Amino acid sequence: MNLGPHASFIIAAYAVAVLVVAGLILWVEFDNRAQRQRLKKLQAQGVTRRSDKST
Amino acid sequence: MALIDLANPTRFLRLAHRALPWLFEITAAVFAVGLYLAYAAPDDYQQGATVKIMFIHVPSAWLGMFGWGLMSVAALGTLVWRHPLADVAAKAAAPIGAAFTFLCLVTGSLWGRPMWGTYWVWDARLTSVLILFLMYLGVIALWRTVEDPSRAARAAAILTLVGAINLPIIKFSVDWWNTLHQPASVIKLGGPSIYPTILIPLLVMALAFTLLFITLHVAAMGNEILRRRVRSLMLVQAQAAPGSSE
């Protein structure tokens, strides 16, 4: 594919897009893992919500 | 199932858990088609191959505005209806909207340098989008500053609704003022002025980016619900600790 004289600008734009999208996916994934881990730790310590106790 | 049934965070988490793998796969498939069409699209007669930057720049711009629009609807849900998931939706949308607005600014700059001869000018369109990005950062900072999520939600909702004034300014800035940025060429009276060989890849890429936004937003909302559960458990733990007032 010939991107012409401005190839570096096109490649840079797509590279930034890949970085931003990858960053968003990683943020969501790592945040999910962190919250689940914290929740698991608290539940392992026997901490439960009031709504859980009533059921 | 009625929409109001989704107001239950536990039910939302269950549905999100089931929907996310499907959403992810559909998004990846549409991206594959969109990127192929973008690769195969002909060069523009004036802009040459740099027109390929449009396939990421324009969807990013739309989603930067879509994110704030979504936050504005959620803000109404927080202030008017006190919907249990409204502020969760608003908080989850802010970083995603900010990321797409950032991408819009950077790709626009990289497109502007070869076409306009400059990375940046303080014209109405570019400046109003920069203001949108700064407003996103402001809302994110506000969410992080106020510890109580329900208090933070009300403050963020007011800021979001005030900031929504910027959306029509962004859209019509190219008509109201003399800007270096071109006027609208897709969403305008009389239909798009782009030839189908370029318009179709652009629309497919816009669909792919929109699906990505929705997928990330559903996942981020799930994370926010979990974060609030962790917070409420930590409060229970703190109240049960020896020496607490209860």
User: Domain limits of chain B?
Assistant: 55-232
- By the CB < 8 Å criterion, does A21 face chain B? yes
Query: Quick check: A25 and B216 in contact, CB under 8 A?
Result: yes
Give the distance, in angstroms, between the CA of residue B156 and the centroid of all CA atoms in the same chain: 16
- Assess: ipTM above 0.95: no
pTM over 0.90: yes
Q: Return the pLDDT at B17.
A: 92
Minimum mean pLDDT among B76-80, B137-141, B194-198: which range? B194-198
pLDDT exceeds 80 at position B185 = no
b/e map of B106-135 (b: 16 or more CB within 10 Å)? Answer: bbbbbbbbbbeeeeeeebbbbbbbeebbeb
Radius of gyration of chain A (CA): 22
**Structural contact between residues B75 and B157, judged by C-beta atoms closer than 8 angstroms:** yes
Could you report the per-residue pLDDT of B43-58, keeping only the tens digit for each? Answer: 988 889 999 999 999 9
The pLDDT, as a whole number, for residue A54 is: 52
Phi/psi of residue B188, nearest 5 degrees: -155, 160
Query: How many angstroms away from the CA of B20 is the closest CA of chain A?
Result: 12
* Interface residues of chain B, partner chain A, Cβ below 8 Å: 39, 43, 48-50, 52-53, 56-57, 60, 95-96, 99-100, 102-103, 106-107, 110-111, 113-114, 212, 216, 219-220, 222-223, 226-227, 229-230, 232-234, 236-237, 240
Adjacent-strand bridge partners of B220: none
- CA-based R_g, chain B, Å: 21
